[in-house]
């Protein structure tokens, strides 16, 4: 009893230190992997600290052990299985799913303490009002995180579309209504600790849905990042509920770091957080406004053979990888094609749009998987001035990020979004499965341009054919 408290304290301090170093290290390429492990070790230590302290002071009953082991095994195994099985292309969805579960966990803790006040974790050190208020915050933020993340995941998976009512003013009334209901429930619950409990939970869940549902397209990762920050806040609130300072520190760190990351992402897309949250989806509004609609009039399509001939004569080639490339899992075939081109002294670079692959950094991960040298990846601001001096641009399964409408057409829902100026290049090849619209559902003016040719087909198959054609032409074989 006497020595356990200091030991627990030391473990907590060590865990916080490791967590902080972990978050710090995760923001540098060199140290990221070790930092991730460090954070994992910190979590293990923290859990050990709680178990040790409880065993030493009040003791842990057999029943408790059984339920701890059940929860650990089921949650842990499912998590490990999901993490191993999920394809790299589905990364945004899976982060949203994990995040939602973290929020749910905070919600359940607060729910448990609220339903059975006798089990209050902090042993009376927290006054009733503070405790109730902490419960309300934990329920509120946890519920928003959970429902918002699940909606985000469903939308990214394509299970949910954007209902038209969410694009009208009605959604603001709906959200304000839910927020007011949650507030009323929260006030009740803060005062007497019983009433208003389920009002808070239900209204907060609806609010999470109402806020997330209208957001679509390229803005989704920002929302996930924001919800990630919320789950940190929820954890901190749960820390107040059970009286754990370690939880408060860790939750606050994640909450603040998540907020910064969200801001960094917004900067990258040249959007403000407010316009992401309240500006409405890019996609669904195009249907209503009609801006950017219309038929294609001047489509030129060509075979991989013609594409190969043009590539052979080129000196500078820029690859624009997009989500289609990721879906077709064509990054390895792409790497082979670029190897052939490079061996023929053709300069190859990759233009990475900030949201290529639906999540910042997602495309970098996929190309790294295919062994593409890091130096060849160019960010949008760097590559855009270089397009006029480029012979061939190969657009692989990207659409909205190369739509010139974003610059030229003020009525377009895409207007103002930063895009890659591929139309400045001499020739543009767009590899695409068909004429269907991109994620935003908007017509792409690029396809109608004189210097654009469409190569229809699955990215992997087209690149495979291209590779054969290039080899037949003898490209790169001399060098």
Scan residues 27-86 and list those touching another protein (CB under 8 A): 27-29, 32-33, 35-37, 39-40, 43, 46-47, 50-51, 54, 58, 60-61, 63-64, 67-68, 70-72, 74-76, 78-80, 82-84, 86
**Interface segment toward another protein; rule CB under 8 A; list 1-9, 108-116, 173-181, 275-283:** 108-116
Taking CB under 8 A as the criterion, the residue among 144, 189, 211, 249 binding another protein is 249
Nearest to 218 by CA among 93, 96, 358, 91: 358
Question: Does residue number 324 form part of the binding site for another protein (CB under 8 A)?
Answer: no
115 binds another protein (CB under 8 A): yes
> How many angstroms separate the Cα of 160 from the Cα of each of 62, 94, 209, 246, 252?
44, 16, 12, 38, 32
Residue 24 or residue 172: which is nearer to another protein going by CB?
24
Nearest to 424 by CA among 454, 449, 399: 449
Take residue 241 and report the two structure tokens written for it. Answer: 């509920």
* Smallest separation (angstroms) from another protein to the CB of 69: 9
Rounded CA Rg of the chain = 26
| 157-165, 250-258, 389-397, 434-442 -> range binding another protein (CB under 8 A) | 250-258
**Cβ atoms < 10 Å from Cβ of 72:** 11
φ/ψ bin of 352: left (φ > 0), alpha (ψ from -120 to 50), beta (otherwise): beta
Verify binding: residue 108, another protein, rule CB under 8 A: yes
Question: Which residues inside 125-154 make contact with another protein, applying CB under 8 A?
Answer: 125-127, 130
Angle (nearest 5°) at CA 159 between 156 and 164: 90
Instruction: Check residue 322 for interaction with another protein (CB under 8 A).
Output: no
What is the residue whose two structure tokens read 């109608």? 448
> Does 292 contact another protein by CB under 8 A?
no
**One residue of 4, 9, 14, 26 binding another protein per CB under 8 A:** 26
| Binding status of residue 99 toward another protein by CB under 8 A | yes
Which residues 420-479 are close enough to bind another protein by CB under 8 A?
none
| CB-side neighbour CA atoms (13 Å) of 31 | 11
Q: Binding segment for another protein among 98-106, 161-169, 408-416, 423-431 (CB under 8 A)?
A: 98-106
Single out the segment in contact with another protein by CB under 8 A; choices: 175-183, 228-236, 280-288, 295-303: 228-236
Contact 314, 346 (CB under 8 A): yes
**Residues belonging to the active site:** 400
Contacts to another protein from residues 326-355, by CB under 8 A: 352, 354
Binding of another protein by 19 (CB under 8 A): yes
Q: Is 211 helix (H, G, I), strand (E, B) or coil?
A: helix
- For residues 223 and 152, the answer to whether their CB atoms sit within 8 Å is yes
On the 0-12 / 13-18 / 19+ scale of CB atoms within 10 A, 477 is: exposed
| SS3 label, residue 452 | strand
> What Cα–Cα distance (Å) separates residue 341 from each residue in 35, 45, 139, 432?
37, 51, 56, 21
Site stretch for another protein (CB under 8 A), options 3-11, 24-32, 208-216, 388-396: 24-32
Number of residues that bind another protein (CB under 8 A): 120
**Smallest gap, in angstroms, from Cβ of residue 359 to another protein?**
5
Q: Write the interaction track for another protein spanning residues 356-395; mark x where CB under 8 A is met and - where it is not.
A: ---xxxx-xx--xx-x-xx--x-x----------------
Instruction: Report the alpha-carbon distance of residue 338 to residue 181 in Å, rounded.
Output: 57
Residue 129 or 313: which CB sits closer to another protein?
129
The token pair at 312 is 């052979």
Q: Residue 282 has which token pair?
A: 């890019």
According to the binding rule CB under 8 A, does residue 321 interact with another protein?
A: no
Cα within 13 Å of Cα(348), Cβ side: 22
Of 150, 151, 203, 241, which lies in the binding site for another protein, with binding defined by CB under 8 A? 241
For another protein, the closer of residues 92 and 148 by Cβ is: 92
Nearer to another protein, 231 or 333 (CB): 231
In the range 186-215, which residues lie near another protein by CB under 8 A? none
Contact status: 257 vs another protein (CB under 8 A) = yes
Closer by beta carbon to another protein, 47 or else 302: 47
Q: Of 397, 225, 256, 237, which is closest to residue 320 (Cα–Cα)?
A: 397
Q: How far is the CB of 238 from another protein (least distance, A)?
A: 4
Binding mask of the shown chain, residues 153 to 192, with x at each position contacting another protein by CB under 8 A: ----------------------------------------
Q: Is 14 in the site for another protein (CB under 8 A)?
A: no
Q: Residue 436: left (phi > 0), alpha (psi -120 to 50), or beta?
A: beta
Q: Does 224 bind another protein (CB under 8 A)?
A: yes
Of the candidates 355, 44, 103, the residue with the CA atom closest to the CA atom of residue 228: 103
DSSP state of 303: -
């Amino acid at each position: 009893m006497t020595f356990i408290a200091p030991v627990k304290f030391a473990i907590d301090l060590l865990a916080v230190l490791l967590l902080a170093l972990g978050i710090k290290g995760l923001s540098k390429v060199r140290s990221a992997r070790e930092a991730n492990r460090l954070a994992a070790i910190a979590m293990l230590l923290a859990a050990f600290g709680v178990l040790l302290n409880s065993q030493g002071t009040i003791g842990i009953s057999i029943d408790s052990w059984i339920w701890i082991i059940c929860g650990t095994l089921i949650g842990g195994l499912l998590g490990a299985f999901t993490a191993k099985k999920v394809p790299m292309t589905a990364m945004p969805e899976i982060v949203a799913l994990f995040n939602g579960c973290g929020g749910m966990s905070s919600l359940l803790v607060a729910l448990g303490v609220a339903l059975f006040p006798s089990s209050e974790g902090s042993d009376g050190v927290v006054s009733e009002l503070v405790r109730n208020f902490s419960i309300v915050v934990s329920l509120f933020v946890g519920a928003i995180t959970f429902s918002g993340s699940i909606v985000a995941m469903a939308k990214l998976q394509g299970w949910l579309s954007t209902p038209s009512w969410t694009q009208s003013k009605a959604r603001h009334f709906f959200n304000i209504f839910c927020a007011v209901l949650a507030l009323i429930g929260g006030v009740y619950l803060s005062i007497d600790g019983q009433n208003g409990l389920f009002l808070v939970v239900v209204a907060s869940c609806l609010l999470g849905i109402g806020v997330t549902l209208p957001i679509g397209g390229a803005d989704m990762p920002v929302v996930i990042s924001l919800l990630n920050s919320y789950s940190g806040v929820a954890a901190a609130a749960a820390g107040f509920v059970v009286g754990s300072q370690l939880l408060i520190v860790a939750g606050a760190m994640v909450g603040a770091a998540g907020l910064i990351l969200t801001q960094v992402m917004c900067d990258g897309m040249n959007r403000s957080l407010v316009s992401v949250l309240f500006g409405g989806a890019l996609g669904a509004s195009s249907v209503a406004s009609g801006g950017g609609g219309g038929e294609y009039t001047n489509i030129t399509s060509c075979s991989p053979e013609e594409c190969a001939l043009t590539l052979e004569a080129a000196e500078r080639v820029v690859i624009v990888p997009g989500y289609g490339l990721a879906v077709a899992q064509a990054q390895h075939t792409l790497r082979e094609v670029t190897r052939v081109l490079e061996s023929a002294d053709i300069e190859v670079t990759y233009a990475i749009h900030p949201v290529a692959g639906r999540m910042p950094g997602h495309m970098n991960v996929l190309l790294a998987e295919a062994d593409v040298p890091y130096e060849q990846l160019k960010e949008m601001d760097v590559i855009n001035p270089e397009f006029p001096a480029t012979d061939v641009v190969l657009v692989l399964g990207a659409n909205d990020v190369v739509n010139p409408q974003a610059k030229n057409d003020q009525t377009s829902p895409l207007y103002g979004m930063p895009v890659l100026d591929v139309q400045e290049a001499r020739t543009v090849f767009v590899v695409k499965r068909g004429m269907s619209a991109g994620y935003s559902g908007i017509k792409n003016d690029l396809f109608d341009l004189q210097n654009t040719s469409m190569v229809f087909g699955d990215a992997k198959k087209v690149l495979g054919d291209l590779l054969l054609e290039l080899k037949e032409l003898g490209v790169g074989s001399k060098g």
